[in-house]
Amino acid sequence: MQILVDANVPLAEQLCALACAEQPLHVEYFSQRQPSAEQLAKAQVLWVRSVTRVDAQLLAQAPNLQWVASATIGTEHVDEAALAAAGIAFSHTPGVNAQAVGDYVLSAVAALSLAHGHLPRGEVAIIGAGHTGRAAGERLAALGLTVHYYDPLLANQAVTAGALAHADWQRVLQSALISCHVPLTQTGAHATYHMFDQQQIAQLRPDCWFINASRGAVVSEAAVRQAIVNGQRIQWVFDVWEFEPQVAVDLLPHIALATAHIAGHSVAGKVGASLQLAQQLRQRCGSGPELPQLQQLLAAWQLPRSRLSKLSKDWQLLASAVLELYDIRVDDQQLRSHGLTAAGFDALRRNYHPRVELISAGLPLFADGKTHVSGL
């Protein structure tokens, strides 16, 4: 079996060998956004991440392809209709890096709060009550913030800690902090493409903190430019960019925290995705021993532990503990120093440093005595 794998999928060769122990296989890696035609011509299995566009053009170069899998939550980079038409199976790993994205949001809020000397002064709107939105919301609730979830597709359903998702857009616009956790969709009643355009951004509170760790085109960069011209002083946090891997360099002086689409790049998230795909491969092969548990695989990385043994009522202490474990400001400086070109942006993602997840590091993120963030 010929398996072609994005080089950012860790432990792929080792896990594939275990998953199909009784079958001959060959694992080859690709390091650019798109695999080469030569590699695709041989591939029977293709494992990608969100930067690889799987469409009819790619499939035309891959006559032997039987299965495509994405080691990511999102699927908008994959033309599922084209795969179905070609009789090629598809799967992905929903929820696998939700904890990492939640950590990213918490680190951003911790950094901004310490810089401004206060937490957001009002409600927190989480847009999208799926895995990542819930993970972010639980962490911010642990800081003592009032969190609500906007998700018209889940309106009136309980999402976390008894909270109900709602469809009140005006409540979102009046929130002190807005964090986006939606897929990119172009059509339908609740399409997310340019969900925040000039008209919507103009209605935001002047002291709004705005985080986008979903997909770049959820926010119109042209509208952000206009907001800056209009004198709006929103605290923007962008992990994703409308035209990535090209960053809107002219916006950077006005962005509080800017990173290279690495919100979900924790060690646990990436290794967890590899393990999920290997489990799927094992089912397809019908052979192989039981695969290791995630914690066994993570033991190879020497990751830090929190010095905070219980949840503190002092938000400054908790914010400082968060930044000791994962400091988003380091990633911000990396982007500003090395990620201003498409090649630099991709290099930052490809060579991203091992990052601990806050729960696995022992940080006690409890919204109350019963609800544990890692249980999402």
Which of the residues are catalytic? 215, 244, 261
Classify 340 as helix, strand or coil.
Answer: coil
Contact (CB, 8 A) for 71 and 93: yes
Residue 375 has what DSSP assignment? G
For residues 262 and 270, give the distance between their C-alpha atoms in angstroms, rounded to a whole number.
11
For residues 127 and 172, give the distance between their C-alpha atoms in angstroms, rounded to a whole number.
8
Contact (CB, 8 A) for 71 and 48: yes
Give the contacts of 357 (CB within 8 A, at least 6 positions apart). Answer: 99, 100, 103, 266, 267, 268, 269
User: Where does residue 198 rank: exposed (0-12), middle (13-18), buried (19+ CB within 10 A)?
Assistant: middle
Contact (CB, 8 A) for 160 and 371: yes
For residues 336 and 359, give the distance between their C-alpha atoms in angstroms, rounded to a whole number.
29
> Per the structure block, which two tokens stand in for 146?
């009032």
Q: How far is CA 376 from the centre of its chain?
A: 15
Q: How far apart are the first and last CA of the chain?
A: 35
Strand order from edge to edge, sheet including 26-30: 26-30, 2-6, 45-48, 67-70, 89-92
Give the contacts of 249 (CB within 8 A, at least 6 positions apart). Answer: 340
Q: Nearest-5° angle of CA 257, CA 248, CA 126?
A: 45
> Per the structure block, which two tokens stand in for 357?
């997840």
Contact (CB, 8 A) for 259 and 97: no
Whether residue 245 has a cis bond before it, omega within 30° of 0: yes
Residues β-bridged to residue 26: 2
